[in-house]
Amino acid sequence: MKDEKHFETRVIHEGYKSSQHFDSLAPPLYQTSTYTFANAKQGENRFAGEEEGYIYSRLGNPTVGILEDRMASLEGGEAALAFGSGMAAVSAVLFSLTKSGDHILCSQGVYGCTFGLLELLQDKFSIQHDFSAMDTEEEIRAMIKDNTTCIYVETPINPTMQLIDLQIVAKVAQEKGIPVVVDNTFCSPYLQRPLELGCDIVIHSATKYIGGHGDVIAGIVVGTQEKMAEIRMTTQKDIGGIISPFDAWLLLRGLKTLAVRLDRHCESADKIAGLLATHPAVDQVIYPGRTDHPQHAIMKKQMKKPGGMISFTIKGSKEDAQRLMDDLHMIKIAVSLGDAETLIQHPATMTHAVVPEEARAKMGITDTLLRLSVGLESTEDIWDDLEQSLNKVKFPSDVI
């Protein structure tokens, strides 16, 4: 029997041996803040790193450790770290890769709170950043500075669904000796594995598809053993953005159905995207699975499936977009994604409200753009709700 199991098997079994935990089928929840030592010398040895074992749950916890081992395996990394939120993960990684006077090169769009963190790093620590479409090797090379210490990429980009060719980015970064960090939240390791494409660190808001049930806030970072150990004993330990054992346990439970959930999310999103494109109130549908998506070829190359996220613009105004959301019955207005429920939000006034209007425009975030996280309900019911609301959109006079 081969040693390497398929993804769908590893997502259920990896990192856990029931024989080491009283033969419990489900990973136990170790809800403890600290651990006892057999004697003073053992405590000294553990603090000195001369003996393996747990010390204090801010530094490590058995339930959290199972989650970290599983996520490292799924992403094809050597090690992983779990955090109390996606932004705790993002901030820990950026703090570890930069110092005052450094420069970060970013994809053209990023999550609103990531944008806010970049602004904070610039204002407080003189860590500069620039945005790039990263369409070609030449463009990336031209944007790299002597003090660039990190390339930070979202793909697909939140919420414009633009894609970045990770192999191109990794090639240039390796030439320059610069680490590439990828926010893989929209895909999860089931759909995309950036480390296998040459990137160095992967970040997840595990709140989303990893958890999948809208009941946990968490973040994950995956990379080399050396880098994860460095972050664990510096920015994670000293800033303290750790995950609780219970939240780690919830993620382990959610992970077991990741593959089957994402298969359904993707299948439904493809149907809904096609239906949206036929409605006269919709101006544009942005979904990587559509052949009219400008980076459809990149999706085919580096993603297993197009994902469960759709962005679309309507014909009308900001008020029309907001009215469309208000007229929905089943679909919930909420700013998360990857849940069993279908969720819709208005990025310009919600997730990306912190981004100045001029910067939003450069990212492609308009007042009529809506982001839809397609859930696990019947696609017929999802479309019925969208259609009845879209039918109420009043067209501007120039398009009647």
- Provide, rounded to the nearest whole percent, the portion of the chain with pLDDT above 90: 96
Return the exposure string of 84-98: e unless at least 16 CB atoms fall within 10 Å of the residue's CB, then b: bbbbbbbbbbbbbbb
Say whether 384 sits in a helix, a strand or coil.
helix
Q: 259-394 belongs to which homologous superfamily?
A: Aspartate Aminotransferase, domain 1 (3.90.1150.10)
Q: Are the C-beta atoms of residues 379 and 271 closer than 8 Å to each other?
A: yes
Sequence ranges of the chain with CATH classification 3.90.1150.10 = 259-394
Residue 399 pLDDT: 47
Report residue 270 as tokens.
């493809």
Question: If you average pLDDT over residues 123-152, what whole number do you get?
Answer: 97
What CA dihedral angle connects 94, 98, 102 and 105, to 10 degrees? -30
Return the exposure string of 314-345: e unless at least 16 CB atoms fall within 10 Å of the residue's CB, then b: bbbeeebbbbbbeebeebbeeebbbbeebbbb
Report residue 185 as tokens.
């939240």
CA distances from 108 to 156, 330, 380 (A): 11, 33, 35
Residue 394 pLDDT: 79
352-379 pLDDT, tens digit each: 999 999 999 999 999 999 999 999 999 9
Q: What's the pLDDT band for 4 if we cut at 50, 70, 90? A: confident
Question: If you average pLDDT over residues 163-186, what whole number do you get?
Answer: 98
Q: Are the C-beta atoms of residues 314 and 370 closer than 8 Å to each other?
A: yes
When the pLDDT of each residue in the chain is averaged and rounded to a whole number, the result is 96
Residue 395 pLDDT: 66
Whole-model pTM above 0.75? yes
Q: Which amino acid is at 235?
A: T
Helix (H) / strand (E) containing 285: strand 282-286
The sheet that has 282-286: what strands, in order across it? 282-286, 309-314, 369-373, 343-345, 332-333
Residue 182 has pLDDT above 80, yes or no: yes
Residue 198 zone, left/alpha/beta (φ > 0; ψ -120 to 50; rest): left
Residue 2 pLDDT: 55
Active site residues: 58, 111, 183, 208
222-277 pLDDT, tens digit each: 999 999 999 999 999 999 999 999 999 999 999 999 999 999 999 999 999 999 99
Sequence ranges of the chain with CATH classification 3.40.640.10 = 7-30+61-255
Q: Which residues contact 196 (CB under 8 A, 6 or more apart)?
A: 76
- Provide, rounded to the nearest whole percent, the portion of the chain with pLDDT above 70: 98
Q: Are the C-beta atoms of residues 304 and 191 closer than 8 Å to each other?
A: yes
The CATH number of 7-30+61-255 is which of 3.50.20.10, 3.40.50.970, 3.40.640.10, 3.30.70.100?
A: 3.40.640.10
Look at the chain and count its residues.
400
Question: If you average pLDDT over residues 163-173, what whole number do you get?
Answer: 98
Helix (H) / strand (E) containing 92: helix 86-97
Return the exposure string of 129-152: e unless at least 16 CB atoms fall within 10 Å of the residue's CB, then b: bebbebeeeeebeebbeeebbbbb
Q: Are the C-beta atoms of residues 10 and 66 closer than 8 Å to each other?
A: no
Measured distance CA(25)–CA(18) in Å, rounded: 6
Measured distance CA(43)–CA(48) in Å, rounded: 9
43-78 pLDDT, tens digit each: 999 999 999 999 999 999 999 999 999 999 999 999
